[in-house]
Amino acid sequence: MPEAAPAPDSWEYSLYIPGDPRAVTVCRRTLRLILTLHGLTHLLDTAELLASELVSNAVLHTKGPACLRLRFRDGVLQIGAWDADPEPPGLPSGPGEPADAESGRGMALVRACADLWHWQPLSRMGRRGKLVWCELNAA
């Protein structure tokens, strides 16, 4: 039996999803499979939480399709969610915000768990929108 080829040092996956809350589960399970196959199981729990928050925001707070993007390069995993709404995401709650605030808690989790996060306007398949992304160092 031939030896398996070594995993590339960089890779990218995109999963286009409908505006359906069930897509969040599909994204989590897909992310787990990809990270397991690439030997990044030590990132699974945090990456799954971050992807869930980003995809949930894209599916629940915007209309139309969305996309989960996973990119690994130079020892950094980037998790992104594209949606068709060009407006910036709800900003993370600050220390002075009430704990029961209706919005911003998901992005506060992203800010707390990721090494870096940001958003940018982005077009996909001829549609304007945004990409909200975060990074985890694999080391």
pLDDT for the residue numbered 123: 74
Report yes or no: 65 and 16 within 8 Å, Cβ to Cβ. Answer: yes
Distance CA 61, CA 55 (A): 10
Question: What angle do helix axes 23-37 and 44-60 make, rounded to 10 degrees?
Answer: 150
Confidence label for 127 from pLDDT (cuts 50, 70 and 90): confident
Confidence label for 122 from pLDDT (cuts 50, 70 and 90): confident
pLDDT for the residue numbered 126: 75
Tell me the pLDDT of the chain averaged across its residues. Answer: 87
pLDDT for the residue numbered 64: 84
Distances (CA, A) of 15 to 4, 30, 105: 25, 9, 25
Write the pLDDT tens digit of every residue in 15-45: 999 989 999 999 999 999 999 999 999 999 9
Q: In terms of Cα–Cα distance, which of 40, 31, 41 is closest to 8?
A: 40
| Arithmetic mean of pLDDT, 38-57 | 96
